[in-house]
Amino acid sequence: MGREKPVLLPKHKKLLKELGENIKLARLRRKFSTEQVSERANISRPTLHSIEKGSESVSIGLYLQVLIVLGLEKDLLMIAKDDELGRKLQDIDLSTKERAPKRK
């Protein structure tokens, strides 16, 4: 019995597809073949092909291995770095101190 594929909304699938395309373009700019990248990342060529297609069934660890080969592993740190919504929600919960009455 195989693993079940995660169910994603079309807009989320589009994000993964764009990520895969960006990885493929980075590989091509470096003039690496699929064979070179897959060997260096210790993955099969079909798995690399799945990554470049943005497959949701490939683990994030394998995406990272390919990014390491391409020298882009630091890009992973950009995910959720600027959590604007989270900061706004946090600010809502911050209580303000009451001021002392003014002196006359």
CATH architecture of the domain with residue range 10-93: Orthogonal Bundle (1.10)
pLDDT, residue 2, reads 65
Token pair, residue 64, equals 């990272």
Q: Is 24 helix (H, G, I), strand (E, B) or coil?
A: helix
Contacts of 3 (CB under 8 A, 6+ apart): 57
User: For the chain, which residues make up each domain, given as ranges?
Assistant: 10-93
pTM for this structure?
A: 0.78
CB contact at 8 A, 16 and 52: no
Would you give per-residue pLDDT tens digits along the chain (104 residues)?
A: 566 766 889 999 999 999 999 999 999 999 999 999 999 999 999 999 999 999 999 999 999 999 999 999 999 888 888 888 888 888 887 666 677 777 77
